[in-house]
């Protein structure tokens, strides 16, 4: 799919350079759509979804002042 | 009369600074993308899928600038560049967080430059691009000057812009062929070039 995004980006840029602005815009819209889909697919995990469980926060002190 | 002439000179200067600024920005991005290609082909560091998306985002920023050099100033062109700079930050930051804790299948790949790996550099580059575009709007401004005074008023800048634009398009074509060799129309990986008969699975014991 990434090759497809490169093709669309190339077509958009080449069309823009050659003066076909509407065509360039159409290719760019398709490119952005495919790009977002590819990005979401790349970071999605069947086990953890979009979360990042390897990042865990913790308090440096057992309790904050004023808490029991 | 002299006020009009001074105003006209001021607007001309603003327009010149705007086009020069855009040219320098595109030149720096072209340099970064060239270095990425050198690392890929001279040092054998194949880009990961998110790395390729980051390269694409940089080409997207250039797309907006190329349109400005080709068709003149427009907020649409600036908007496209801003959008891709923001996308670059989002993708690079997500990749940094993805690889920040080394575990099987996930670790920063490639060489570290000044102690920072590629996704962290991509985040910095994206933020600098965002800041650069915002700073241009806030400090130089001069949009009215850009609407009145076209690039034709600065033939040297126009020629330099055309050369750098064509170089970026050439880089994009090389990256397109390269991505095709590496991924075909399948999922990308960093083990080798799929269409050149490279391995399609990680080496034994590797990630």
Per-residue pLDDT of chain B (207 residues; tens, 9 = 90+): 466 676 677 888 888 888 999 999 999 999 999 999 999 999 888 899 999 999 999 999 999 999 999 998 888 999 999 999 999 999 999 999 988 887 777 777 777 888 888 889 999 999 999 998 888 888 877 677 777 888 888 999 999 999 999 999 999 999 999 999 999 888 888 878 888 877 666 665 444
> Is residue B10 included in any domain, yes or no?
no
Asked if A42 and B175 come within 8 Å (Cβ–Cβ), the reply is no
> Is residue B92 included in any domain, yes or no?
yes
B174 part of contact set with chain A, CB < 8 Å: no
> Is residue B43 included in any domain, yes or no?
yes
Mean per-residue pLDDT, A37-56: 91
> Is residue B26 included in any domain, yes or no?
yes
| DSSP output for B107-122 | ---S--BTTB-HHHHH
Asked if B100 and A55 come within 8 Å (Cβ–Cβ), the reply is yes
> Is residue B41 included in any domain, yes or no?
yes
CB atoms within 10 A of CB A39: 21
Please tell me the total count of domains within chain B.
1
> Is residue B135 included in any domain, yes or no?
yes
- In the prediction, which pLDDT does B189 show? 82
B71 part of contact set with chain A, CB < 8 Å: yes
Where in the sequence is the domain holding B58, given as residue range(s)? 16-196
> Is residue B35 included in any domain, yes or no?
yes
User: A4 falls in which pLDDT band (50, 70, 90)?
Assistant: very high
B62 part of contact set with chain A, CB < 8 Å: yes
Mutual angle of helices B75-99 and B118-135, in 10-degree steps: 150
- In the prediction, which pLDDT does B206 show? 44
Q: Which two tokens stand for residue B187?
A: 């999922």
Q: Is the ipTM here above 0.90? A: no
| Shortest CA gap A8–chain B (Å) | 10
Asked if A52 and B97 come within 8 Å (Cβ–Cβ), the reply is yes
Cβ burial, residue B28 (10 Å; 0-12/13-18/19+) = middle
Please report, for chain A, the start and end positions of each structural domain, with discontinuous segments joined by +: 2-43
**CATH code for the domain of B183:** 1.20.1550
H/E segment holding residue B49:
helix B49-71
Closest chain A residue to B188, measured at CA: A2
Residues in chain A within 8 Å Cβ distance of B183: 2-3
Asked if B56 and A6 come within 8 Å (Cβ–Cβ), the reply is yes
> Is residue B40 included in any domain, yes or no?
yes
């Amino acid at each position: 799919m990434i090759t497809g995004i490169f093709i669309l980006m190339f077509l958009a840029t080449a069309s823009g350079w050659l003066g076909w602005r509407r065509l360039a815009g159409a290719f760019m819209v398709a490119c952005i759509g495919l790009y977002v889909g590819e990005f979401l697919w790349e970071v999605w995990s069947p086990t953890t979804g979009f979360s990042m469980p390897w990042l865990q926060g913790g308090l440096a002190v057992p309790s904050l002042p004023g808490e029991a | 009369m002299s006020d009009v002439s001074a105003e006209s000179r001021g607007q001309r200067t603003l327009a010149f600074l705007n086009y020069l600024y855009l040219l320098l920005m595109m030149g720096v991005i072209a340099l970064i993308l060239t270095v990425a290609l050198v690392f890929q082909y001279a040092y054998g560091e194949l880009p990961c899928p998110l790395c390729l998306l980051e390269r694409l985002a940089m080409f997207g920023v250039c797309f907006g600038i190329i349109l400005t050099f080709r068709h003149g100033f427009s907020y649409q062109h600036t908007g496209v560049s801003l959008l891709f700079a923001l996308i670059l930050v989002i993708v690079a930051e997500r990749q940094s967080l993805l690889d920040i804790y080394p575990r099987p299948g996930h670790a920063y790949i490639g060489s570290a430059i000044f102690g920072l790996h590629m996704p962290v550099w991509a985040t910095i580059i994206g933020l600098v691009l965002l800041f650069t575009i915002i700073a241009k709007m806030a400090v130089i401004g001069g949009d009215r000057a850009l609407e009145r005074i076209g690039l034709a008023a600065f033939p040297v800048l126009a020629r330099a812009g055309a050369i750098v634009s064509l170089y970026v398009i050439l880089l994009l074509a090389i990256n397109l062929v390269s991505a095709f060799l590496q991924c075909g129309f399948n999922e990308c990986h960093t083990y080798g070039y799929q269409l050149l008969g490279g391995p399609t699975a990680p080496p034994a014991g590797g990630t």
